[in-house]
Amino acid sequence: MTMATGSGTHSLFVETVQRLSRNPLAVAGGAVILALVVVSTFPSIFSTADPSRIDTGSMLLAPSSAHPLGTDELGRDVYSRMIHGAHISLQVGFVSMGIATAIGLLMGLSAGYFGGWTDAVVSRFIDVMLCFPSFFLILSVIAFLGPSIINIMVVIGLTGWMGVARLVRAETLSLRERDFVAAARAQGAGNSRIIFRHILPNALAPVLVSATLGVAGAILVESGLSFLGIGVQPPIPSWGNILTAGKDNIEFAWWLSLYPGLAILVTVLGYNLLGEGIQEAVDPRLKAR
């Protein structure tokens, strides 16, 4: 591996994009994610109805031309709530994985570059964190702090960085022995410059894959918390709390369970397909094909 700067970075990026574009499953996953990002960014364009408007005369109506996805137990339009719920789900996914990735990068770079007692302390801390079942740890913390979007994003981020840290540590252990790092050190570059200018750009490929897959996991966690009633609180719509209403009325309002369930399934599948496609595109073993 060579230092990823200048034209080398550009050619590597172009090659990765070309490999990714030749993977139909990755392209399909990317298209799904792009569509969700557009919908969640401009929800008022795709739905003009108020997702919190209660209409007691329209309770639990089946899908129709007036309500394409039906209504819930309070007469609220499910289609509008699904559109606005996409914004909440993607926001939680991106922000929480941003927090987890930042922590994982700092931990992994420190452990891999400095080694010694720093590596030992960080590695043992990672092992300790991995001993706790993540979902139950998140449940405990949310129950203590109280349910809110900010708390959910922060807690998911603070409990999801271990995988990124392990990946970055392994990459850093290899990269710190490379010739370009020795050359930078010989020219008088400090540790911070070597880490962030020379090692970090070359260690980002596995991080990108992990972050892409991690967003899907964060969306699942948020949906599970909302389904249990300690996630996003009504009247703010999320796919998880729409599912909760579906559970209570599943015998005669199937649409309340089907549509948010499909939305979660398609979203997670899209992120997984894109993540696996990126992994194949950046895997050096595939470059000989």
User: Residue 46: inside a domain, yes or no?
Assistant: no
153 neighbors 95 (Cβ within 8 angstroms): yes
Query: Could you list the residue range(s) of the whole structural domain that residue 228 is in?
Result: 77-269
Model-level pTM?
0.84
Q: For position 166, what pLDDT does the model report?
A: 93
Instruction: List per-block mean pLDDT (blocks of 10 residues) for the chain, which spans 289 residues.
Output: 49 75 91 92 86 88 91 92 90 92 94 92 92 84 84 91 93 89 87 89 85 89 86 85 84 89 92 88 57
What is the spatial distance between Cα 6 and Cα 149, in angstroms, rounded to a whole number?
40
Total structural domains within the chain: 1
Residue with tokens 């392994």: 170
* E strand map for 15-130: none
238 neighbors 85 (Cβ within 8 angstroms): yes
pLDDT in tens, 176-226: 888 888 888 888 888 888 998 889 888 888 888 888 889 988 989 988 888
What CATH number does residue 219 fall under? 1.10.3720.10
User: Residue 51: inside a domain, yes or no?
Assistant: no
User: Residue 59: inside a domain, yes or no?
Assistant: no
Which residue, among 52, 59, 112, has the nearest Cα to 83 in the 3D structure?
Answer: 52
pLDDT in tens, 212-250: 889 988 989 988 888 888 888 888 888 988 888 888 888
Q: For position 229, what pLDDT does the model report?
A: 83
Q: For position 77, what pLDDT does the model report?
A: 93
User: Residue 3: inside a domain, yes or no?
Assistant: no
Q: How many CB atoms lie within 10 A of CB 134?
A: 16
Q: For position 1, what pLDDT does the model report?
A: 42
Residue 179 makes CB contacts below 8 A (sequence gap 6+) with: none
User: Residue 129: inside a domain, yes or no?
Assistant: yes
User: Residue 28: inside a domain, yes or no?
Assistant: no
Q: How many CB atoms lie within 10 A of CB 252?
A: 8
What is the spatial distance between Cα 115 and Cα 122, in angstroms, rounded to a whole number?
10
Handedness of CA 123, 136, 279, 16 (dihedral sign): negative
User: Residue 230: inside a domain, yes or no?
Assistant: yes
Give the torsion through C-alpha atoms of 273, 276, 282, 286, to 10 deg.
Answer: -110
User: Residue 108: inside a domain, yes or no?
Assistant: yes
What is the spatial distance between Cα 98 and Cα 130, in angstroms, rounded to a whole number?
19
